[in-house]
Structure 1
């Protein structure tokens, strides 16, 4: 029988023989027998058109999700992709890829996130990440796999631009001193010195470090922007890394003799509390590093290269921290300075009162 239910499931599934001898087995995505039969007949007809008339083969969301995960395994955001696609599968399982519309995708975005004990409304920033995963899948299906002719346009939702959270050097020294774990303390110091993301710091290997030439590098598959990053090491960074020589054969930072795989968030929060620093995530170490660079005069184009950002807009977030290059233009809109006269201070106030 070509339509049947699997053990323990109310969903009808197909098992279709194609005209060229192939086999298609997939879910109908419905518990309604009549709807499943209609979908089965439609799919069988389309498979016939593919084999006899050269029409494009009908591809399903399930096929696309499986392929994208196989091709992008090992990428930095792979875990998030799995979470996003698992969520969308509850809506689009068994659906032909070219039948999924923009409105359906937006309607499928999660309204709440978090654990079952502590659910909270999903922010537009998080929803945009889900949209990014679907955009990546559909555009890849169009331009690389040629499975579908076009993809729906998925514009990002508007988000509120939050302030950049950074701390000064005195606060950073207090924070470092409040961390009791050796590996966490040195990872933090290296973060302030290089601006590397947490995953890159924890996964840093000796093969990525050249202490003699004071440099390190992040490979494309480890970088968020999928581009290699060259990392110059200052004296503080070199000193930190040297302390871990001989602790492990492959990885720089270890915990109890094993490479570190997870950040100790409770200990981090306790250290921040002891240092009197509130609302400070580890990722804010990177923001702090970038802020110090801008305040120290590092050009934004150089900072973009140092930080491995793919978009210039990401670096512009820090531009306001050092507006010194704009100072000469401030005098272009003075009120009282005319013809070389200076009407500032008390003289200016007196002039206003007598006007």
Structure 2
């Protein structure tokens, strides 16, 4: 077939059969016949080497980007991946995958980003998300698509440990009193009672609730760890759910008869300001719920199941909040015997 033009187009297209009987059809991307012929001959030669010598065809970054995004379209963070890939195309477009080195990738990771018209530094966490995307693409090219022998090893940027932000019960009560909308207040209160993530509460359906058995459940495709979560409901949670009965046939929490598509961050910040509670995100409600549990004596392994965390290390962040279980071991390093301590006094 060689070179040809499609009806109504001046761009040359390439078509030929490979030695193995396969067929290659693609655009040359050019209206110049000489350039198109050169690309045709190059592709045909590579196809011959692949078939006869077992060599891998050379792939450029754009090919990998297109395939990767097409296979990630159902992922929750797809929009972030698109933004990351678009960024990396500015650095590696036209490059063969095998020619892209680890130092080049590490140097390409952005340090600052434009936010609200100003350039602001990116946190190590955000920079690691860029790394995660290109690492995932390259590993797919190795293990899934077999386009490469190996991928560069990309080590995450070191992330400083974050302090767990939680508030007291009195502060939580003060916060809830400042809400002007019942729906938002009830959603926040339900978070304090169950520790569920925001999206799980916003999209909670009546089919996921059993008031008589005092439980709810999150399906595996709704859970961050991809495992179903059983949610025991305490008295506060039951009371909140009963108040929602009759407001919507499908969804539990609604505003003006419709489920909330998105949490109103502006109103949330205003509520926190009125309650004089600083630096408190909605996700910190989950941290608060976990902190209250630990302080109340809930074992960490039980907390792991209640919160639906994938690993035990995730709940260890809260262990320092209730060191009471370690108190009996403190006497193992006494300088004096207990009777001698009385004498010393």
State the TM bucket, normalised to the shorter chain.
Answer: 0.7 to 0.9
Q: 1:126 to 1:163 in 2, by over 3 A?
A: same
Provide the rounded CA distance (Å) in 1 between the counterparts of 2:249 and 2:153.
48
Provide the rounded CA distance (Å) in 2 between the counterparts of 1:142 and 1:57.
13
Provide the rounded CA distance (Å) in 1 between the counterparts of 2:12 and 2:127.
33
Provide the rounded CA distance (Å) in 2 between the counterparts of 1:131 and 1:97.
16
Which structure 2 residues correspond to residues 145-224 of structure 1 after superposition, within 5 A?
145-224=145-224
Q: 1:134 to 1:39 in 2, by over 3 A?
A: farther
Q: Which runs of 5 or more structure 1 residues have no equivalent in the other structure? A: 3-12, 29-35, 349-355
Provide the rounded CA distance (Å) in 1 between the counterparts of 2:29 and 2:329.
65
Provide the rounded CA distance (Å) in 1 between the counterparts of 2:127 and 2:313.
20
Equivalent residue, structure 1, for 2:63: 63
> Is the 2:215–2:230 Cα contact (8 Å) retained in structure 1?
yes
CA shift, 1:49, in A, is: 2.0
CA shift, 1:42, in A, is: 6.1
SS in 2 for 1:230: strand
Task: Please say if 1:22 is aligned against 2:21.
Answer: no
RMSD: 3.0
Provide the rounded CA distance (Å) in 2 between the counterparts of 1:97 and 1:218.
40
Which structure 2 residues correspond to residues 68-147 of structure 1 after superposition, within 5 A?
68-147=68-147
Q: 1:101 to 1:242 in 2, by over 3 A?
A: farther
Q: 1:164 to 1:69 in 2, by over 3 A?
A: same
Equivalent residue, structure 1, for 2:233: 233
Q: 1:206 to 1:321 in 2, by over 3 A?
A: same
TM-score, normalisation: structure 2: 0.84
Q: Which runs of 5 or more structure 2 residues have no equivalent in the other structure? A: 4-10, 31-35
Count of residue correspondences: 329
> Is the 1:26–1:94 Cα contact (8 Å) retained in structure 2?
no
Q: 1:313 to 1:14 in 2, by over 3 A?
A: farther
TM-score, normalisation: structure 1: 0.82
Equivalent residue, structure 2, for 1:338: 337
